[in-house]
Structure 1
Amino acid sequence: MKSTFILLGFLLCSITSVAQQVFKNDELTVSKLKDKTWVVETSDKTTMYIVEGDKRAMLIDTGTKCTALDEIVRKITSKPLDVVITHLHPDHAGNIHYFDSIYLHPADTVMMGEYHYKGKINYVAEGQVFDLGGTEIEVAWMPGHTPGSIVLLNRATGDCFSGDAFGSGQVWLQLEPHVPMTDYLQSCRRMRQLMEQDGIRYIWCGHYPYVKTYYDLGYICKMETLAQRLAAGDTEGAKPFRMPPSTHALGHSVYLSDGPVMIVYNADKIN
């Protein structure tokens, strides 16, 4: 019976979310997802989120191809802003230079040399809570896609802003710096527990334009099953994966899938 409800939830998740557009230019679109929460979709299909409290606001990631991103955010909220980066890949941190201060996990600083950021870098820690005034956003460390990948939890609304920690249908684990599949499996298990036990219901991914909705428990269960197989060395059914050139690409990229859920990994270095 439980598996039936998980499958039903996974199918319902494919229904497009209703998001009301509030701003648009040639590079991005800003739409309201729900009360005090906006999604920013860029022309190259990366995603940022804006969450507002009574006293402060948060920008989650800074995307790419976003001229004057700071000014655009100010069209949505005038409150003091915390800029939090889910991970340091350029499609999520490419516009940090528009902001005087950012937050990120220290495990991703190994990639900071790719940037010439002159602002203040603040490090987040597991369980850290940003109090926006009537809205609290909690940091959860979920290594896998990068060593310092984090998700941001709004427990009151059941929202998780996941960056690329659990992908957008497919999660990339074939990149440098490498994270063992066993570590990613623990991240999947923890995310499942947050959804089963702690009231998290909606995973808003880092490339929302591809899906136009949230991911649910069924998605995470499928991702965990794939990670468990790979962590144990079961690669039956894996196929070659062709990816665009990347400075982060590592080794022989292959993928293992279960319907619409896929893990891309390095066949020569799984754990």
Structure 2
Amino acid sequence: MDYRVVQMDEHTWRIEEFDDTSSVYMYLLEGSERAMLLDSGLGMIPLDEITAELTSLPVDVLATHAHLDHIGGNSFFEKVYINELDREVFSLHCDKFRSHYPDYQFRGQRDNIIWYTGEKEFQLGGRTLRLVSSPGHTLGAVSILDVERKWLFTGDTCCQASVLLNLEYTTTVETYKRTIERLLSIGEQYDLTWPAHHKIPVSPEILEQFREAADLLLDKKAEGEDIEMPFGPAKCFYYKDISITYTPDRVFDRNDA
């Protein structure tokens, strides 16, 4: 596993962890008093040494969600914040889910998780991070609004690719649409979105595409193609620059809809 560091501005860095099969972005955000690392990747690179070279301030971790490619390096740090709603998916990805990646030697977790409820705000010193609940890809997924810079960090919620709603502990398309509508409703508060995978940065227009695609599925004006995923069969609806991967039982909030 290799990595590269890209400086985004004087106090912000993107850490890219990658090999031939996987790639994930982490973002180190520095204030005047503390720094926050958004996600900890797969944990195959020395994140403690990398972040120490970039900032002399204490570094905490804030997970956008609890999938294994976002929590793998948690043990490098003293405090890791994860939404309580992702506690079960965290356990799954620390245990059974790792067997899908036999070539990786994952680090163990430690007792450094701070489980929080509701929406939080972090003050780093002249830099405000505001959490926006974003259920969809997981129940406890969050987006992080970097208030002063007008950036929105979205994890896996709206990459310019497919959002996966076909895994254990994902939500319905209907719930996901409400998340996208909420992010669009605060659109005046951000100019760019920074996802955890694929193309970066992403124009807010991509959120509009996800809303349109979800509407077509919910209105039964479109249906995804049958595909086979490593975690079982699913459907994928390709729309413009994005797609939604889902299972037929996770379209509506009620199965009888």
TM-score normalised to structure 2 length = 0.85
CA-to-aligned-CA distance 1:21-63 (integer Å, 9 cap, x gap): xxxxx61001111231111111131110000001110000011
> Which of 1 and 2 has higher RCO (CA within 8 Å, sep 6+)?
1
Correspondence 1:68 to 2:46: yes
Matched-pair contact (CA < 8 Å) for 1:38–1:49: yes
CA distance in 2, matches of 1:89, 1:216: 24
Correspondence 1:206 to 2:193: no
Q: CA RMSD in A?
A: 1.7
Find the counterpart in structure 2 of residue 17 from structure 1: none
Query: What is the CA-CA distance between 1:71 and the residue it aligns to?
Result: 1.2
Judging changes above 3 Å, is the alpha-carbon distance between structure 1 residues 111 and 127 closer, same or farther for their aligned structure 2 residues? closer
Note the residue ranges of structure 2 that are not aligned, 5 or more in a row.
Answer: 95-107, 253-257
How many pairs were matched up?
235
Name the SS of the counterpart of 1:230 in structure 2: helix
Matched-pair contact (CA < 8 Å) for 1:255–1:263: yes
Matched-pair contact (CA < 8 Å) for 2:127–2:147: no
Tell me whether 106-115 or 144-153 shows the greater mean CA deviation.
106-115
Matched-pair contact (CA < 8 Å) for 1:87–1:150: yes
Note the residue ranges of structure 1 that are not aligned, 5 or more in a row.
Answer: 1-25
Matched to 1:27, the amino acid is D
CA distance in 2, matches of 1:153, 1:61: 15
Find the counterpart in structure 2 of residue 31 from structure 1: 6
Matched to 2:136, the amino acid is G
Find the counterpart in structure 2 of residue 183 from structure 1: 175
Name the SS of the counterpart of 1:241 in structure 2: strand
Q: 1:49 aligns with which of 7, 10, 27?
A: 27
Tell me whether 48-57 or 225-234 shows the greater mean CA deviation.
225-234
After TM superposition, the structure 1 = structure 2 runs for residues 104-183 of structure 1, keeping only pairs within 5 Å, are 104-113=82-91, 114-115=93-94, 117-183=109-175
CA distance in 1, matches of 2:6, 2:192: 17
Correspondence 1:241 to 2:211: no
Find the counterpart in structure 1 of residue 105 from structure 2: none
CA distance in 1, matches of 2:88, 2:12: 31
CA distance in 1, matches of 2:189, 2:90: 34
Matched to 1:150, the amino acid is V
TM-score normalised to structure 1 length = 0.81
Matched to 1:108, the amino acid is D
CA distance in 1, matches of 2:17, 2:90: 23
